[in-house]
């Protein structure tokens, strides 16, 4: 263990193979954890600090306010909703972006059915 931590070569070739395989697995596992950890904020709800009235008046007749935290949809859900709504509003452009322009039907634009880009 001390030899592996100090970077020294292993005693036998089998130990060296096992050490290198373990080292590579450790790097892969570490990279996966860092990558998945970076995606965490996309899954959690968004939070906004706001002030809200309590319904109680102070001595001068002004409503007493308090700090509250309001939760909204996650960043991932907001992005997905925006994408889906854009696709629903622009189906022809979405098809052109998804597929090659030649495979988008032009029947909406022209009277004779053919593919856009073909003659």
Tens-digit pLDDT profile for residues 17-59: 888 888 888 888 888 888 777 777 777 777 888 888 888 888 9
Quote the pTM value.
0.36
Angle between helices 75-89 and 91-98 (to 10 degrees): 110
**Residue 25: HSE in the Cβ half-sphere, 13 Å Cα cutoff:** 6
Whether 106 contacts 116, CB under 8 Å? yes
């Amino acid at each position: 263990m001390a030899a592996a931590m100090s970077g020294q070569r292993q005693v036998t070739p089998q130990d060296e193979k096992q050490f290198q395989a373990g080292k590579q697995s450790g790097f892969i596992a570490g990279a996966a954890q860092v990558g998945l950890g970076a995606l965490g904020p996309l899954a959690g709800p968004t939070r906004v600090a706001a002030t809200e009235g309590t319904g109680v008046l102070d001595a001068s007749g002004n409503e007493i306010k308090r700090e509250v935290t309001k939760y909204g949809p996650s960043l991932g859900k907001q992005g997905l909703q925006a994408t889906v709504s854009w696709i629903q509003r622009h189906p022809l452009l979405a098809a052109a972006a998804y597929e090659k322009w030649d495979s988008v039907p032009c029947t909406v634009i022209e009277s004779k059915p053919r593919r856009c880009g073909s003659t």
